Structure 1
Amino acid sequence: MAQNAYVSRRDPEQVAEIPAQGEEFLGAALALPEKSRHPTSQISSVDSLFMSCPRQHPTSFLSGRSAFSLIELLVVMAMVSLLLAIAAPSLVSLSPARKTGIHELSGFLENARAEAIARSAPRIVAFADAHFPDPSLALRAYALFGEATAKGSHEKSAPTNRFHRLSPWRTLPEGLVFASGEDFEVIGDGAFRTLHDLIATRRFAVKTSSGGGDAGRALPSLVFGPDGGVRAPSFADADALHIGVVEGFRDPSTGTVIHTAKRLSGSGQEIPNGECLEVGYYTGRPRILTD
């Protein structure tokens, strides 16, 4: 009613203009093009435009490429072979067994040296040679010995030898044996000898594989003095003595070492895969050379 009252107060001519303006607006809308009056028709026209464009499958870009040529394959193979040849020496030096064996031996020597200093008494590390009474331990075992007056010996009876064993016989990991100097390449003219190249003079009580005792056998050995230095063996032509391990085994029939893995050295010589440490003459400290 309020709206009707408001309209009724207007001028009659203005009221008559309202329907006329509505008719003009409707006529203008009908005069618009068909596509302008329907926005969805524009969307469909855009879709038809995209549909009309040819679509290329991703694989169509590769269809024009040819396969690798023989020359390209040969070049790649040559590069891979060169990289393997360069990396081979560093790869073979990562044998876990060799690294484990040389580090265990170095730690054993360091402990023997420390005990000699702590006890103010010589400590001797003896090594099994190729003619060790127990064939399974030949060139693989080592143990700590002390003077005959030392306590805590592992021997049940006091032998006639001047040394008593203070530790069990320890062995290198399977597949490793002690090395000689000829198993390593030496750069320069310096003397290079391992402990197993020297003549053994100290005799130690050892047992055979059957459990029988041995009155005493000369074995390679290293003597640490109370000051920590090396008392024996003497090596006046060098300031260090070397102990090495190589991959191989001892042939029981001949007593010789059969190397199971070899590599080319820097000079092109074929040498067995091995590890080496040196023991300073004055300090007695072991140092691994091949790490």
Structure 2
Amino acid sequence: MAETLQLNSTFLHPTFFILTGFPGLGSAQTWLTLVFGPIYLLALLGNGALLAVVWIDSTLHQPMFLLLAMLAATDLGLATSIAPGLLAVLWLGPRSVLYAVCLVQVFFVHALTPMESGVLLAMAYDRAAAIGGPLHYPVLVTKAHVGYAALALALKAVAIVVPFPRLVAKFEHFQAKTIGHTYCAHMAVVELVGNTRANNLYGLALSLAISCMDILGITGSYGLIAHAVLQLPTREARAKAFGTCSSHICVILAFYIPGLFSYLTHRFGHHTVPKPVHILLSNIYLLLPPALNPLIYGAHTKQIRDRLLETLTFRKSPL
């Protein structure tokens, strides 16, 4: 009886968890810092430069570029929510993380992911309004509307994700303190409890609802864009209209394709896909899009590219 009480008290409201990184890789996972370190650095520099350029240059204070800045800010938050801890685990080995800090990380990771999806939907609507109704675009999409959209997306993300840490916080007993992951993912923490049915159902319903609604909205917006582009009189006009959307399409693919692979392997590949692969995909899903997005927009958006070159070479654009 005494041993049972001691066991229960050991895992009653734990003050900390231990993150192990990639189970089974041991010291070999140190080499992964050579992969994730540059990816995180690229995300910091790229999104930081993009935000700085949009902030400094008043000619870029337009809805399209403000939405791009919103995406960059979300990417910075998403990458920073996991990368420092990930690199510490990879380089130094298993580390402890306070229980409260773990819940905070659960909140930010799962709030910023739907936030990014929502920003991509807003950007799709922006392009649909610009190409489908250019005469009405200045009225339909304004800087004030972008501000309202940012506030609405932030409130939505907070509202739908608050139950995640609350569901974890209500658990009184944990079967273990060791999390076989690189960060405090919701289900990785819940698995320490044993009974994960409610959390599984909520996570599944939430993922399907948000992803399906955003993907349907993006698909509908690009359906309108395709219809409007096909109505343009010349091939050059159609190519120019498509060119304005190409960077956004690449960003959408960079976000949803890794996310789809991560989701499918986590939900249906437990017995066929090794756990290190699960963890690798979840980290790539959260870190790769923030690193790629600035490169994609820098390469495809002339205004951003020109401003960055002017800043780096200390050259002023001709009047």
Structure 1 length normalisation: TM-score? 0.20
User: Which protein shows a greater Rg?
Assistant: 1
TM-score, normalised on structure 2?
0.19
